[in-house]
């Protein structure tokens, strides 16, 4: 099987989907000649031309609003936010328009909009370019949320995003673009709401998504040397959420750790912990542990940033707390 980087897998998905559907139009800053900040859209302008790959001004509210309008009028736009942090600039267009239009129109209007963006720390990009904001999107009904952790999932989930008839945000991680993995030439879209058990185990269920899945797998290998067998679940999407896979694992292990890079306070792990408590409480033999970023802005200083963010060692310690 071929090995691709995460960015190559995303680019391949875009090439294939644009060839499949002439209504797909890309909008964003520096996505044409430059090929995108992380080179995901490299070559698409030459292939599909300026009528389908639109370079926009630095105005997130403007081009997200344009994308919403295009979606309402029969196109299938993909708008790229260079950094997740700038979603706030387009908050009204996303949360009040795209997410609500189907319900407010009584089903007469749909908004098949795909938003691609990247988030997370690890590069010393400081507080305004390092946030993980998926929990904010999860709080608003009407948008589906995918957070791929591998090149395989990145391609499959992005292809699925273009088959949805409602808004989707595909949230990538800036430190995943150069990671490599096996991706078959013919890869079907990966359905939303289907988690992936990345590692089977019997002692503790470790739930994660995006880059933190890599930390979880590393932690699981370390814990195996101590005789603790950890099952690692990659959610892949947090809305819709695959509670069936989670419940099956919790029933087997009776212990749960949730790890993500967003802030621990009101992060998605808090919602997930509540749902597990509501549906699986009788199977739990220990309190649920959550691992997330400290509740401070992400520092520019890389030692401080590393202290703020979750790590394999922090996950190891959380697993030991629920197991011992």
User: Could you give the C-alpha distances from 22 to 74, 99, 133, 143, in angstroms and in order?
Assistant: 11, 24, 31, 23
Taking alpha carbons only, the member of 79, 218, 238 closest to residue 147 is 238
Active site residue 289: no
Find the catalytic residue in 129, 173, 215, 239. 129
60 is catalytic: yes
Closest by CA position to 142, among listed 101, 114, 109, 171:
101
Q: Rounded to whole angstroms, what are the CA distances from 82 to 60, 64, 137, 167, 323?
A: 9, 12, 17, 18, 41
Closest residue by Cα to residue 79 from 154, 149, 26, 135: 26
Q: Which of 12, 17, 29, 60 is catalytic?
A: 60
Measured CA to CA, the distance from residue 126 to residue 82 in angstroms comes to 15
Residue corresponding to tokens 């239009």: 101
Q: Are 115 and 172 in contact (CB under 8 A)?
A: no
> Cis ω on the peptide bond leading into residue 240 (within 30° of 0)?
yes
Give the active site residues: 60, 129
């Amino acid at each position: 099987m071929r090995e691709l980087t995460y960015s190559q897998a995303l680019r391949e998905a875009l090439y294939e989907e644009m060839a499949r559907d002439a209504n797909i139009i890309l909008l964003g800053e520096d996505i044409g000649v430059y090929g995108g900040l992380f080179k995901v859209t490299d070559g698409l302008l030459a292939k599909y031309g300026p009528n389908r790959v639109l370079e926009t001004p630095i105005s997130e509210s403007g081009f997200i609003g344009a994308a919403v309008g295009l979606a309402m009028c029969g196109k299938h736009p993909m708008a790229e936010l260079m950094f997740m942090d700038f979603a706030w600039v387009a908050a009204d267009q996303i949360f009040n328009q795209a997410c609500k239009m189907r319900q407010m129109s009584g089903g007469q209007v749909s908004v098949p909009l795909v938003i691609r963006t990247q988030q997370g720390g690890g590069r010393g990009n400081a507080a305004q370019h390092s946030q993980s904001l998926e929990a904010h999107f999860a709080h608003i009904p009407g948008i589906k949320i995918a957070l791929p952790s591998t090149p395989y999932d990145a391609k499959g989930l992005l292809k699925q995003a273009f088959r949805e008839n409602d808004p989707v945000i595909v949230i990538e991680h800036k430190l995943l673009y150069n990671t490599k993995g096996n991706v078959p030439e013919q890869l079907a879209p990966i359905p939303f709401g289907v988690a992936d058990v990345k590692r089977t185990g019997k002692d503790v269920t470790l739930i994660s998504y995006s880059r933190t899945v890599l930390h979880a797998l590393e932690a699981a290998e370390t814990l195996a040397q101590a005789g603790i067998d950890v099952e690692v679940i990659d959610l892949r999407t947090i809305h819709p959420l695959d509670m069936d896979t989670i419940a099956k694992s919790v029933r087997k292990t009776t212990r749960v750790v949730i790890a993500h890079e967003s802030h621990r306070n009101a992060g998605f792990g808090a919602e997930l912990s509540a749902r597990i408590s509501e549906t699986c409480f009788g199977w739990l033999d220990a309190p649920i542990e959550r691992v997330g970023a400290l509740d401070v802005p992400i520092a520019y200083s890389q030692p401080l940033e590393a202290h703020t963010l979750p790590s394999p060692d922090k996950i190891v310690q959380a697993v030991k707390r629920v197991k011992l």
